Amino acid sequence: MQKTPSDQLREEKSREEKSLNLLERKQNAISKKENKKNLINRTKDYIDDTLTAYDYYKQMNNTAKKLVNTFGKNVGAGNGIDDYYHPLLQCVLAQKGNNHAQNGIELGYWKEVWDYYRKKGKMPEQEIYKDSFKDLQNNRYGSNLGKNNPDKDCRNLLEDRRTPNMKKLGIR
């Protein structure tokens, strides 16, 4: 029995739909693999950026200890170092790319949440908020500085943020 033109057209359309479904399934499989790969890479970057942030946090604490040991306690020896180290970290991360810049900003917010609970009850809340706001502004400043100066040394870009005591001891 010979097929009518409409039967032939239906069969052709059915073959095309099957081909499109197969192609769609292949594209979905590729997309899922790419999403998984992207998620793995993004997670690795986040962990790497967290470790970098922790290294800078330790550097800042070591600087504070050096300044206090050299210039004495309760004389403001370590005052202002946040204004250098917050933007320094963010600048370095932003120079690594947009995902790293975003990670840095997120980590900065988490650090301020941690600071709030660490300081709560030990100092007035308004003082905690004021300090956190300043730190978050410094984070934004450093991130923008790194994005706008991808090939410059962040320590040089932030030279004006070093405290007089840091300069006396040659701390960068």
Condensed to tens digits (0 to 9), the pLDDT of residues 27-56 reads 777 777 888 889 899 999 999 999 999 999
Q: How many domains does the chain have?
A: 1
Within a domain: residue 38?
no
Q: Is residue 76 part of a domain?
A: yes
Q: What is the pLDDT, as a whole number, of residue 112?
A: 96
Based on the number of CB atoms within 10 Å of its own CB, is 141 exposed (0-12), middle (13-18) or buried (19 or more)? middle
Beta strands in 89-166 (DSSP E): none
The answer to the question of residue 35 being in a domain is no
Give a yes or no: residue 20 inside a domain. Answer: no
Does residue 93 contact residue 143 with C-beta atoms inside 8 Å? yes
The answer to whether residue 37 sits within a structural domain is no
Tell me whether residue 135 is in a domain. Answer: yes
User: Strands (DSSP E) along 26-78, which ranges?
Assistant: none
Question: Which residues span the domain enclosing 82?
Answer: 49-169
For residues 84 and 56, give the distance between their C-alpha atoms in angstroms, rounded to a whole number. Answer: 11
Residue 95: inside a domain, yes or no?
A: yes
Is the torsion defined by CA of 72, 75, 77, 79 positive or negative? positive
Q: What is the pLDDT along the chain (172 residues), one digit of tens a residue?
A: 677 777 777 777 777 777 777 777 777 777 778 888 898 999 999 999 999 999 999 999 999 999 999 998 878 888 999 999 999 999 999 999 999 999 999 999 999 999 999 999 999 999 999 999 999 999 999 999 999 999 999 999 999 999 999 999 999 8
Instruction: Kindly state whether residue 114 falls inside one of the protein's structural domains.
Output: yes
Quote the pTM value: 0.80
| C-alpha span between 56 and 35 (Å, rounded) | 31
Quote the tokens at residue 144: 């923008």
